[in-house]
Amino acid sequence: MSAVNASLIHAIPLSSQVINLCAAIMLLLGFAMLAQRRVLTLINLFMLQGLVLFISTLIVALTTSQSHLLWSAGLTLLLKVIALPLILHRLIRRLSVKWDIETLLNIPTIMLIGIALVVIAFNVAQPISQLSGTITRATIGIALACVLLAFLMMITRSKAVPQVIAFLAMENGLFFAATSATYGMPMVVELGIALDVMVGMVILGVFFFQIRQQFDSLDIRHMERNKEQ
Amino acid sequence: MIELVLVLVTPFATALLLALFGHRRGAAEINSAGSLLTLLAAALLTIRVINDGPMVLYDEQFFVDPLNVFLIALTALVGFTTSLFSRPYMRVEHDHDRLSVNRLRLYHSMFQMFMCTMLVALSTNNLGILWVAMEMATLTTVLLVALYRTPASLEAAWKYFILCGVGIAQALFGTILIYFAAERILGHESGALLWTHLDAVKSQLEPTVLSLAFVFLFVGYGTKTGLVPLHNWLPDAHAEGPTPVSAVLSGLLLNVALYAIIRCKVLVDGALGTHFAGNLMIAFGLLTVVVPAFYLARQKDVKRLFGYSSIEHMGLITFAFGMGGPVASFAGLLHMTVHSLTKSAIFFAVGHAAQMAGTQIIDDIKGLIKQSPTIGWGLMLGSLAILGMPPFGVFTSEFMILTTAIKHYPWATPILLMALGVAFAAMFQKVQSMVFGEPTVRPLAHNPALLPVFVHLGLVLMLGLWIPPYLADWYRQAAKLIG
């Protein structure tokens, strides 16, 4: 958002600026997760992203007095800042992968691809931002960028836990997109999505143990048995 | 409208019941009974729609129209026949110690839950709820695919979860974009995600946003439909899960995902007024017909073979809807119906055949017809039907698709014919080697339930010769809706 020149800054209300700041932090965290090799730090970064998401949703809710956004902010706090990180922490402790370090090849290349994705995201989001009437419209591009970065993270990771964190980060980005483009989806849909995320997490938790039991590791590369003949 | 409530609540209640008591004797019977009740409720719903016409219900959150009513009936029917098939099938698996009692409880409960999510996805009027139900369907089937807990099944389930999870996340972004476009016209509160409302104002929706939304929705739900190049999960999930699950995955879930795409296409066509969505569907449909045709010959696992065949048929249906127009859309809907019936019948036969042989490897299954004529003939006739032999219904729909293609997209016709020919050669030869020859298979310990196979094939045969007037009428109305 640095492109905004000095004279315009005064025209943008404080709340908008804070939201833009939150968006910038979201993007930064997206990149940090992309390059992070430690599972434990990854979970903390995910929690931080949830927290930023909560703050920005809360500010949007307060400034636009959209009461249902308060609920979704609360839901974010409960689910993404408290429940999911707790479950993940428990999981990695019980799986004893807490201090796992993943070997990531070519972090600079991944980062460069990430930058390219951000540029693409901004281009794609341009027409939407121009149409949007929300105070958060400038952040739609960032939201899409977060989704794409999480997507990239999912492709580049070979271990089960980071893949799932990438999946959850993608959901964060989508939620951010919904808030910034339209002030959030209808409540019933948001509740449904939260339920899906929760159920999915529980199922995966069980899955991790099964996978490790069968493969002696959580490394997806050890699977690859169903290859095409 | 008690019928719709029954359609949705029966599978849910049965799922809860089975989750609690599924470890006792008679779980399979409860499963069948629940499915039968769902089918009866769906039949009542269908009769109601025949008498009263389309309807919007419960605060407009649900609706039934010609496009989804026959899919609801089809889903309930195949759900019921699959539950009949799964009773002896699962008993054999249990006898062979492949599944414990607790796994069976999980299976029965999740089977009903899966039916419930699909029926919700089909009947909901809310595009957001449609997404939620689709994601729920993914989660329940992930558990079902991983039921055996073997390394291969866990890998298949993981691949399925990751690919479809990513795909369906794209669909959520598409849904957000549709909501964004709709909110500007319908306002924030008044149900801007309700399909009927969107349909009423579709010409006013912002074209740029809608076209972008469709790309995301198409990629998202397309992953779940098994469109190339996002089809990788499908053969694995079909091969590694229990066979009743393969039958409902192929027969029902793919249809539901396709249904979601069609619903979105109607909106996008209305907003854009161009053939953008159709062209996208034609391109990916064609690719999805051609690529798996060449994979078929290389398959060694019989369930993978038919998994690839499902991908091919989904491509054909996507192509048909992409062309649009009354004939092609009619053919697409008919093909959805006959493919679902035929493919599930084939999986029923294949499931028993694999149990008799103790393996899913095609080369090790021989002489089915000598050991069990019904299974052998079931597999042979089912394969002939799915390969588009007259007088089965698949021939009718493929014929209609091809003639429309000759008229409007002549360049695509040779490609389609070649792919269908390659698929025929590859599959017929493999099926023939399994059905005939000196038997390597042993008889089953429990009587197989083969009635579903012949009921399905009978229906497909009937649809090839004569389509009931109200069904044809629905197809026509739905085709008009799809455009």
| Higher per-residue confidence, B186 vs B471 | B471
- Asked if omega into B390 is within 30° of 0 (cis), the reply is no
Instruction: Give the Cβ contact number of residue B151 at 10 Å.
Output: 18
Q: What is the structure's pLDDT at A222?
A: 63
What is the tens place of the pLDDT at every residue in B443-462? 777 778 788 899 999 999 99
* B228, B288 Cβ separation under 8 angstroms: yes
Residue B191, chain A, CB below 8 Å: the answer is yes
Average pLDDT over residues A155-180: 84
Q: Which helix (H) or strand (E) holds B64?
A: strand B62-64
Question: Residue A226 phi/psi, 5° resolution?
Answer: -80, 35
Report the share of chain A in percent with pLDDT over 90. 7
Q: Give the gyration radius of chain A's Cα atoms.
A: 18
Average pLDDT over residues A128-143: 76
pLDDT mean over B171-188: 84
Q: CB burial class (10 A; 0-12, 13-18, 19+) of residue B455?
A: middle
ipTM: 0.84
Quote the CA–CA distance of B419 and B309 in Å, as a whole number. Answer: 11
> Cα dist. A147→A34, A45, A157 in Å?
12, 15, 16
- Residue of A26, A165, A22, A147 whose CA lies nearest to A84: A165
Structure tokens at B135: 């994601």
Mutation choice for B interface testing from A60, A165, A185 by most B CBs within 10 A: A185
DSSP symbols for A190-206: HHHHHHHHHHHHHHHHH
Which residue in the set A131, A151, A186 is minimally distant from B128, CB to CB?
A186
Answer whether B321 touches A (CB < 8 Å).
no
SS3 per residue for B106-150: HHHHHHHHHHHHHHHHHHECEHHHHHHHHHHHHHHHHHHHCCCCC
Give the nearest chain A residue to B299 (CA atoms). Answer: A229
pLDDT band at B192 (very low <50, low <70, confident <90, very high): confident
Residue B402, H or E segment: helix B393-408
Cα four-point dihedral sign A161, A162, A165, A171: negative
State the pLDDT confidence band at A5, using cuts at 50, 70 and 90: low
Predicted pLDDT at A229: 42
List, for residues A97-111, the tens digit of each pLDDT value.
777 777 666 788 888
Residue B384 has pLDDT above 90, yes or no: yes
B305 pLDDT band, cuts 50/70/90, is very high
Residue B130, Cβ neighbours under 10 Å: how many? 26
pLDDT digits (tens, 9 = 90+) for A171-201: 888 888 888 777 777 777 778 888 888 888 8
By the 8 A CB rule, do B446 and B91 touch? yes
Q: Which residue is it, tokens 């002939």?
A: B384
Mean pLDDT (whole number) for B369-376 = 86
- Does residue B60 sit at the A interface (CB-CB below 8 Å)? no
B212 at the A interface (CB within 8 A)?
yes
- Which segment of A165-169, A175-179, A225-229, B268-272 scores lowest on mean pLDDT? A225-229
CB B295, CB B229: distance < 8 Å:
no
- pTM, to two decimals: 0.90
Angle B270-B273-B276 from CA coordinates, rounded to 5°: 100
Q: What is the mean pLDDT of residues B425-429?
A: 91
Distance in angstroms between the alpha carbons of the first and the last residue of chain A: 50
- At residue B115, the pLDDT reads 94
Percent of chain B with pLDDT over 90: 43
Please report the pLDDT score of residue A221 as a whole number: 63
Cα dihedral: B346, B348, B351, B354 (round 10): -50
pLDDT in tens, A49-92: 999 989 888 888 888 777 788 888 888 888 888 888 888 888 88
Q: Is residue B56 within a helix (H) or strand (E), and if so which, with residue range? A: strand B55-57
Which of B132, B151, B192 lies nearest to residue A196, judging by beta carbons?
A: B132
Q: Return d(Cα B39, Cα A189) in angstroms, integer.
A: 28
Q: Rounded to whole angstroms, what are the CA distances from B126 to A215, B14, B175, B264, B333?
A: 41, 25, 10, 12, 22
Q: How far is CA B30 from CA B11, B26, B352, in A?
A: 11, 6, 22
Cβ A184 vs Cβ A67: under 8 Å = no
pLDDT at B28: 86
Residue A2 has pLDDT above 50, yes or no: no
Where do the structural domains in chain A lie, given as residue ranges?
15-228
Which of B:271-310 have CB within 8 Å of A? Answer: 295, 298-300
CB spacing of B155 vs A203 below 8 angstroms: no
Average pLDDT over residues A34-49: 88
Give SS3 for B194. Answer: strand
> What confidence tens digit (pLDDT) does each residue in B4-29 have?
888 888 999 999 988 888 777 888 88
The pLDDT score that the predictor gives to residue B398 is 93
Tokens (6 digits) for B72: 């609801």
User: What's chain A's length in residues?
Assistant: 229
The per-residue pLDDT for A1 is 43
Count Cβ neighbours within 10 Å for each residue of B23-53 and write b for 16 or more, e otherwise: beeebbebbbbbbbbbbbbbeebbebbeeee
pLDDT in tens, B315-357: 999 999 999 888 999 999 999 999 999 999 999 999 988 888 8
pLDDT at A38: 85
